[in-house]
Structure formats: C-alpha cells, structure tokens
Chain A
Amino acid sequence: MSGTPEAVVKKFPHWIEKMSEAIVGEEDGVWIVKPNALRAVAKYLKEKKGYDFLANVAGVDNLLHPNRKEVDRFEVVYHFYSTERGGDYIAIKARANAENPVLPSLVPIFPTADFQEREIWDLYGIKFTGHPNLRRILLWDGFFGHPMRKDYHEAYYEEEHRPYNSRYPEGHYVSQEDRTPWKNNLVFPNAFDPEHWQAPEIYYEVGQDFKNIEKLKTDRIVVNIGPQHPSTHGVLRMIVGLEGETVTGLELELGYLHRNHEKIGERNTYLMNIPFTDRLDYITSMTNNFGYVLAVEKLMPKVVVPERAEYLRVIMAELTRAMNHLFAIGFLLNDMGAFYTPSLYAIEERELILDLFEMASGSRMMCNYMRFGGVAHDVDENWVKLAIELVHNRLPRALDEMEALLTTNEIMLARTKNVGYLSPKDAIAYGTSGPVLRGSGVPYDIRKAEPYSIYDRFDFDLITEEGGDVYARYMMRIREARESVRILKQALRDLPGGPVMGKPLPYMVKIPANEAYTHIEAPKGELGFYIVSDGTPNPYRYHVRAPSFVNLNSLATMAVGHKIADAIIILGSIDIVLGEVDR
C-alpha cells in the first residue's frame, strides 16, 4: 500500500502536488494518512476544501482482523462532512503501532474531537499529542486496562462471540459468573493489594483564567453538580467554577452510565444488536433502530425493503421526533424551575404515541421494531385510524397549546433569550448537530442533505433559527415537531399495502468484509453508526456516534459567563440523554 490512490487523484486533481506525500493508501473507500501529516491534511480539508464538520472519530483495534494482519495495530478513523455543500463525505484514517500508539490530536483544528479523542484514549489507549485535557472520560482515572482492545477480556468473558457455542447444543449450564474468583464482575491486576494502593489524585482546572469581573468582590468557589441531581437529566456530573454566581469554567465528568454498548455489540450478532440500540437514547428507541438497520443494510448486498416497511419506518421515526421534542421542552421548563406541571403537559401526548408503539411492536419504550429488510410487525387498519386521529388532531393541538403558553411568555423570554449563545461558526466547530446546530442558523439536516430511506418523497421544510440561544433551540423544537406532523400526515395518507418484510434473512447474517459510516437525523442530532465487518456474523467494530455526546462539547463555551442557574437550562436546551452520552 503505497503511492497515491486513484480515487484521490480523481476527486482532487490538485491534491497531487500538495498531499500526495501524506496519503499512503486506500482501503474500503477510506484514505490512509501518515500520522505526522494528519493535522496538515485535516487543516487542508477544512480550510481549502470546505469539509468543516468532523462528524465522527472512532478508534479501531486491528489485532484480530483477518485482512489487516500486516498493518499497524491501532487506527483512528475520521469522517468529515461539509455543511455548506450539505453532506459530501470524506473519510481518512491514521494508524499507530502497538508498542507506542501515539497520534497527533485534531483538537486545535476541530474542537469537536475533544471528547471523542478522550474516549479513544480511554477505551483504546491511543495517546493524542497536543490534546489539552487527555484524561479518561467514560471510566475513572485509575481503571486498569483499556477495555475496547481486542485482548481485554471482561470478568464474565466466556467466548469471542455470542451466542456461545459452549452453551449449545449440549449446553453446560455453569455460567462464567460462577467461575470467576470473586463471584463478581471484577478484574484486578496480578497481585493487586488493596491495602497498599493509593487512589490517583484528580484535579479539575475550572475557571482559573477568568478575570473580567472586577467590580464586585465575590468569592471563587468550585461547585459540584451531580451525578445525583434533579436537573442533570440523568447521571451527568458537572464541575463548575464560580465567581460569585457567574460561571467561569465548566468541566464535565461522564461515564456514570457507561454500559459498554460497543464492547457488547462486538460480541453480539448483527441482529442481536437491534434491541441494544433501543437502550442508547431510551426516549427515541425507534430512530436508533432506524439508524442501525440502515447502517447494516448499507453493508449488505441486495437487501430490498418493501414500500410499506419504508413508510412505517418513517412514520415511527417522525412520531418519535415529535414526542422527543415535546419531552425536551417539558424538561427544559422543569430546569427553569417550573417543576412538574409543564412536563406533565408535555408527556400527555407521549403516552398516546407510546400506545401506538405498543400496539405495533409489543413494547412501550424499547420497541425493537425494525429489522434488516423491513420491520418486525405489520400494523392494522385500526392502528392507522388512531394514528391519523393523533396526527391530525391531538399533536397539532398539543403544539399549539405549548406555544400559546410559552412562546410569548414573559418569564420564558427573560430566562432564555440571549442565554447560551452559540455562534454558527462555533456550532460547526464543536460538531453540534440537530436542533442545536440549526438553532444557530446552520441549515444542515441530514434528511435534506443526504435523504435516506424515502425522505425525498415528502414535502417538508428545513427549519433554522437565527438566535443561537436557548430560546432559538426551544423554537427549533416546536417548529420541527410541526414539520414532523406534516411528514406524518403525508406518510399516513400515502401508506401503501403489501408486505412489511422482504425475504426473511437468516438469524446469523454474514456480511462481507467492509466498513461503512451511516448517519441519520435523529431527534437529538446526527446519529451515526460506524461498522467494520470482517465476514463473520458479528461486527468487528461497532461504534455509535451519539449526538448528545458530541453536542456536549459545546456546553462549556455556552455556559461560561452566565449565571449558574442559566448553565442548567443551557444543558437542558442541548437535550441530552445519558444512555446515549455514555453508551
């Protein structure tokens, strides 16, 4: 693998003079870049070619990959998009050797790489030179090992792949759980002696360089919010530096709900991962299913999805979006101090949508509804009737009611206008997506930019708000929910008959060795799945680009300079779900 690949020459003729040294090869449509040229290439892509949106950064361990025995063990893949051109994708990867895995950090060029590089350091042990704060992010400082490496085995490790051969067909019913020495899910280094062990010291540097407030003499304190706090939307922890009441610095501590989604996903078969995706963003399980099945279908040759299934997928996804936006607004109000009542109004319609989900899939929240090549169950006429009633009457009325109560509400305006401003430039640089990005006036919606499924058939508007503040994000959600209702009306009108599933696929579907990054517009932003397959029934690498996780990059920038009570509603306006942030 050397020399400049053909595709590079074709796509960028001018690259030859400038970048031919940097690109050393191509593999499955991804260019391999020399580590020392990585920053130069990224800068070139951003400044000269308009690839300003670094969507995804993922690490891969090549240790067991059958086709990658010759190459360096670790690699990091970067997926770039262009917000100006609405999509247009390019992917590059850089490799690092097993003994000393070091790569240059892209944080100076793309601030969005901050959390994602920390995650790779945490889970793969790849160091990034020039990263401002390379601490563990999902696990705690002092954790033993880097768990996503292929040679890291959990305490309950039984076999490489599920379903376990050892349990079937003869089946020995002693599970690994009963064979571990501590009867517990614990891994300790050899000869670890807790009596002589000292915890590492962690120092949070928050807000030490803020000198703008001189007039009033106030105290400097550091306040810890969470992980058990009613306004953190789950188990998020914020360490906030304060000058009086003004936020001077904010650092996030994540991972309190790190459920090893990716590690478990690599041991599952492709099909077994669908119910796990439900539990990523547990408010919007349908869109998670949708993103995942689209990602796997992209890698499968010749999968045809029937028309009716395509419509059902879109209907479910848009119902989810409307529900999620109402939920987000209700809990934003909760954060402002309007405890309970607004959120009760907001989740009134949610129950009706969940009823529809339960009728279709059998479960209220964890729907597990979509399959490769279709959906699991058909819906009957009664379902469609109820859905039409909901979409034509209840949902628009609920949105009108919300707007009547909130949009011109004086307290609402006072609390949200000009709070948490994020400039369009920052919004792109921090990799935010969904209502946060469009709330800053950047017209980038994947449903419009790269229409997936059948979104190109519907008539709906790309909503943007120019404000860039909490109020703009609130308006974004209301207006986007209205667009969802518009799509739903069309989809329910046009819903064709026919089967909902093509040819049934085998349980252990094999996928040819390849890799792909697929993204959809989930209610919270860009939900991406990066899948590397090696020809076996299990994904070799399964990475989730979670919108809430990446959107959190921008929180510190938005919150600094505001009062601490505003920091809470700024967090609420990003609309995070911890299942997705920590995975």
Chain B
Amino acid sequence: MSENVESEVGVPQALRRNIFTTALDAVYNWSRSSSTWPVMFGLACCAIEMVATAAARYDMSRFGMEVMRASPRQSDLMIVAGTVTKKMLPNIVRIYNQMPEPRYVIAMGACATGGGPFKDGYNVVSGIDKYIPVDVYIPGCPPTPESLMHGFMKLHQKMRSQSITNVNWYNKSYTGEVPVPILGPDVIDPREIPAMSKAVRLAREAKE
C-alpha cells in the first residue's frame, strides 16, 4: 500500500504499520478464493481422483479447499465429478439450487464436460452444462489430481477477476435458480415444455 492512499483515508501515523488499505474487491475476492468449500459430492470415477486430490500427497487444503461440506447449503463450489446420468440429473440440479450464491461449478472430466465415452448411452446426459452453468471445464478421463488443481487455479483466477460492483448475486431480481428437470418417459426440461406441447399440438392439427 502506498503512503499516499493511507494518508488520503486518514490513517494516523502511529497506526500506519498495522493498518493496510486496499480495494474492497481485492479483500472480498481474496477471502472467497482462499476458502472455497466444495460440496462433498461425487458421481463416478472422477470422484476417486477428487478424493486423491484431497488426500495426503496432493493435499487440497493448501488452497483452503479441504473443507468438503456434506450439505450444499454450506458450500461455494460444486465439482461435478463423473458421468451425469438422466436419473441423477434432477438431484444434481436440486443440489445446485440449494447452494447459496456466490456459487461455482467445475465440470470435472470428459463425462461432466460433454458426455465422455458414454455419450451415446440412453441414460447419459451429454454434459452438465446443458442444465446448469459451468465455470471451469477440466478435460481428462479421469483428470489427474494435477489437472484438477490446475482447474482450481483457473477458478481462483476467475473469482479474483470479479468485481463486487457488477456481480449478479447482489441484484435483487436475480435468483439463479435452474428449473429441476422432470423424469418422464425421458428427461423433460421444464423450460422446453411449452415448445414441446406446441409441436405436438401443431402435428395433431396438421393431421386433422
């Protein structure tokens, strides 16, 4: 901190060694990015590498991220670690909705990013980003702990680049809720229902 700023805000001379002045964004983002708590949530193979990342050799706690919360309500980050199946999809969206803002999502591995090797399966969603917004994608099948940590770095970088003046979670009209998909004959996205019904109605009318 430069002397000038401190004298501008009027810090007494005697306290200048104890008080630091900085931008609010910097402190806010520094504290957020140094204590990003992931939700304890694993889907498939990638979750095992996530466990390995948390374990002794790679040690996620170096980034203040070892506090894996079992409840989404206490966490900032969801690591979608594994294949997203249609049957699991409503639950994942619900977990996302339960997380308080600001919340971040990492799509870990090929499956969460785009379906991976199982993409053409009848019960597989080709990428979680079709339903919830993703901040960082990590390639690999499964990504090694090193690449997961690289993903963390990227996420921290993103967090530090945000500004309190324009982030959307202080906007009163913003909820960030994602409508929970419905398990019908196949997964129904509530946002698509009017379009689907309209298509069926038009087809029926054309027949008549």
* B-binding residues in A (CB < 8 A): 138-140, 142-144, 147, 152, 154-158, 176-177, 182, 184-189, 191-195, 197, 199, 227-230, 234-235, 255-261, 263-264, 275-276, 279, 282-283, 343-344, 347-348, 350-351, 354, 364-366, 578-579
A347 pairs with B52, CB closer than 8 A = yes
Q: A185-B120, A192-B200, A194-B188 are in contact. Are A256 and B85 (CB under 8 A)?
A: yes
Q: Is residue B49 within 8 Å, beta carbon to beta carbon, of the partner chain?
A: yes
Q: A185-B125, A256-B87, A365-B48 are in contact. Are A230 and B144 (CB under 8 A)?
A: no
Cα distance A399–B109 in the bound complex, in angstroms: 33
What are 8 of the A-B contact pairs (CB < 8 Å)? A154-B120, A186-B187, A193-B200, A194-B188, A199-B182, A255-B87, A282-B45, A347-B55
A283 pairs with B185, CB closer than 8 A = no
Neighbouring A residues of B141 by C-beta, 8 Å: 366
Report the stretch among B1-9, B11-19, B35-43 that lies at the interface: B35-43
- Within B164-208, which residues are at the interface with A (CB < 8 Å)? 182-188, 192-193, 196-197, 200-201, 203-204
Cα distance A382–B111 in the bound complex, in angstroms: 35
Q: How many residues of B contact A (CB 8 A)?
A: 52
Q: A193-B197, A235-B88, A256-B88 are in contact. Are A279 and B119 (CB under 8 A)?
A: no
Number of A-B contacts (CB under 8 A): 162
Q: Is residue B26 within 8 Å, beta carbon to beta carbon, of the partner chain?
A: no
Task: Pick from A142, A156, A257, A364: contact of B185, CB below 8 A.
Answer: A142
Task: State the main secondary structure of chain A at its contact with B.
Answer: loop
Q: A177-B126, A194-B197 are in contact. Are A188 and B185 (CB under 8 A)?
A: yes
Q: Is residue B63 within 8 Å, beta carbon to beta carbon, of the partner chain?
A: no
B196 pairs with A259, CB closer than 8 A = no
For A285, the closest partner residue in chain B by CB is B45
Cα distance A166–B121 in the bound complex, in angstroms: 19
Report the minimal beta-carbon distance from A572 to chain B, rounded to whole angstroms: 15
Cα distance A84–B141 in the bound complex, in angstroms: 42
Neighbouring B residues of A257 by C-beta, 8 Å: 43-44, 82-83, 85, 88
B88 pairs with A157, CB closer than 8 A = no
Cα distance A282–B187 in the bound complex, in angstroms: 27
Q: Name 19 extra pairs, CB < 8 A, besides A227-B88, A227-B91, A255-B123.
A: A157-B120, A158-B120, A176-B120, A185-B115, A185-B125, A192-B196, A195-B193, A199-B182, A234-B47, A257-B82, A257-B85, A347-B51, A347-B56, A350-B52, A351-B55, A351-B57, A364-B144, A365-B48, A366-B142
A140 pairs with B183, CB closer than 8 A = yes
Report the minimal beta-carbon distance from B125 to chain A, rounded to whole angstroms: 7
Task: Pick from B40, B192, B196: contact of A193, CB below 8 A.
Answer: B196
A260 pairs with B124, CB closer than 8 A = yes
Cα distance A186–B89 in the bound complex, in angstroms: 13
Cα distance A177–B119 in the bound complex, in angstroms: 10
